[in-house]
Homo-oligomer: A and B are copies of this chain.
Amino acid sequence: MSNGITDRTPPADVTERLGYRLKRAAATLRGAMDKALREHGLTVPQYACLELLDQQPGLSNAELARGTFVTRQSMNVVLRGLQDAGLITRPATTDHGRALPAHLTEEGRRRLAAARSVVYAIDQRMTDAVPPKRLSVLLADLDRMAETLGG
């Protein structure tokens, strides 16, 4: 059966398929972040939102949704929560268009800084699990996988 030509059929064992492994790694990461962030009073989408806003102040609801891989509707409730908690500000109206630019408050920056330390630790532990020389290749492969499926 082994003829030197790459097998183009997914393994019969589900757990040997790329999709399963990808899901497993992502689920584990999600669980670790969820647990760590809970002690900081933040959910994963909330943290992701704060992180994006810190790097790109003024992002709109729709832009944040795309950046965190959720729908506009989901991001809307996240933003409302962050707004109620006083971590971000958003104008009620705007001169041009409908997009409402969001910005971090001082408190938001503080909470983000605190939460960032624990998330960094997790990301670093995970990154250390892969040989340094393979990291850039791994990142590129993950990107290709996403792009191929229309991400």
Q: Which chain A residues (10-25) contact chain B, with CB distance < 8 Å? A: 10, 12-19, 21-25
CB-CB under 8 A from A124, the residues of chain B are 8-10
Interface of A is mostly: helix
Copies of this chain, whole number: 2
Report whether B14 and A51 are in contact in the complex, using a CB–CB cutoff of 8 Å.
Answer: yes
A131 nearest CB neighbor, chain B only: B141
Determine if A151 is an interface residue (Cβ-Cβ < 8 Å).
Answer: yes
In whole Å, how far is A57's beta carbon from the nearest beta carbon of chain B? 14
Of B127, B139, B150, the contact of A28 (CB 8 Å cutoff): B150
Of B19, B69, B130, B139, the contact of A23 (CB 8 Å cutoff): B69
Known contacts A14-B51, A19-B29; is A24 also within 8 Å of B146 by CB? yes
State in angstroms the CA–CA spacing of A48 and B69 once bound together.
22
Known contacts A29-B23, A123-B17; is A129 also within 8 Å of B141 by CB? yes
CB-CB under 8 A from A127, the residues of chain B are 10, 17-18
Q: Interface digits, A10-51 against B, CB 8 Å rule (1 contact, 0 not)?
A: 101111111101111111111111000000000000001001
Report whether A126 and B139 are in contact in the complex, using a CB–CB cutoff of 8 Å.
Answer: no
Report whether A129 and B147 are in contact in the complex, using a CB–CB cutoff of 8 Å.
Answer: yes
Report whether B151 and A28 are in contact in the complex, using a CB–CB cutoff of 8 Å.
Answer: yes
Report whether A27 and B123 are in contact in the complex, using a CB–CB cutoff of 8 Å.
Answer: no
Q: Interface digits, A118-151 against B, CB 8 Å rule (1 contact, 0 not)?
A: 0110111111111110110111011111111111
